[in-house]
Amino acid sequence: MSDYIKPDFEESIPVEVWLWLLIVMGPYNPKTMLILSMYDYDVTEAAKAVRDGKIEFLSDDETSRAKETRNSSIYEIMSLCKKNNVKIVTLDSKDYPKLLRNIENPPVVLFCAGDLSGLDKALTVSAVGTRDASEYSYNVTKTLISPLVKLGVVVTSGLAFGLDTAVHKACLDAGGRTIGVCGCGILVDYPKGSGNLKRRIVESGGAVISELLPFAKTWGGYFQHRNRIISGLSYGTVVIEAGEVSGCLLTAQHAVEQGREVFAVPPHSILEARYAGTAALCREGAVPVFGYIDIVNALMKDKDASEYFKKVLGRKM
């Protein structure tokens, strides 16, 4: 295109280079981390190689975007984020959570409303559950989350209707800090009407994050990729209620692949299909959770988590 100007990486600030790479390669693309590894995680050199056609395994779409992505597109995103108080947290940023950076395919860019700082010194746990949950599971959510929050645990969930929303609200009601991982661009109203909850999360010192471009719509196939971020932010993931086919089970599978702990609330009834997923997790070796102390005891096996709990519990005694 005649008005295309190749990004001048020698003069660009790192955020611009990361955004260019995100636009060209797309989010959750494992090829991005492969290319970065080929260039010693020097994002400028990696982006130059993509731009100059030195990477042989790019798709036709990726090659086209490398040729056609304009500087104006990058600056438009940066301006949009600044206008809406959205931070751009790149893989090399000091505020990028260490646990998430260490998964196999971490997001190269996080768009963040709120505050991600200090997570490396915190104890993080994820809790997820079905949209169409039982009253039992809502009660369990409050019972589990409140004491964890009192121990200073930062709780992550997926901002979906049902138990995810209940997790965030239970955390906020207990005065805690929570991280919501969007299944859409951070400036999209999804789930519909979730704006108040997102504002509460940000105002309470937490964060709402997404790896997608700010106005990216959600689609069903994305949630399996989003779920790796939920588990990746945490030492362990609690599945509160899930049927035999559930996105929560994908989150649990990501946690297993990431070497993190998996917890499951035992079924309220072994006869109801709505609990088949958590029953399967318990059968396959997930830690059964009868109270928050089961989560604490299991996480004490992790050195960092153990030191955290010893300090916190020591202050409480």
In a domain, 144, yes or no: yes
Angle at 89 between CA 26 and CA 199, to 5 degrees: 100
As for how many domains the chain has, the answer is: 2
Does residue 44 carry a pLDDT above 60? Answer: yes
76 and 159 part of one domain: no
In a domain, 35, yes or no: yes
150 and 281 part of one domain: yes
Say if residue 52 is exposed, middle or buried (CB neighbours under 10 Å; 0-12, 13-18, 19+): exposed
pTM recorded for the entire structure = 0.94
Give the C-alpha separation, 97 to 102, whole Å. 9
Q: What is the pLDDT of residue 8?
A: 60
158-167 pLDDT tens trace: 999 999 999 9
Percent of the chain with pLDDT over 90: 88
Residues 6+ apart with CB under 8 A from 13: none
Domain interval for residue 153: 119-316
In a domain, 100, yes or no: no
Q: What is the pLDDT of residue 312?
A: 82
Last residue of a domain, one of 62, 83, 104: 83
Last residue of a domain, one of 65, 83, 101: 83
141 and 54 part of one domain: no
Contact between 207 and 180 (Cβ < 8 Å): yes
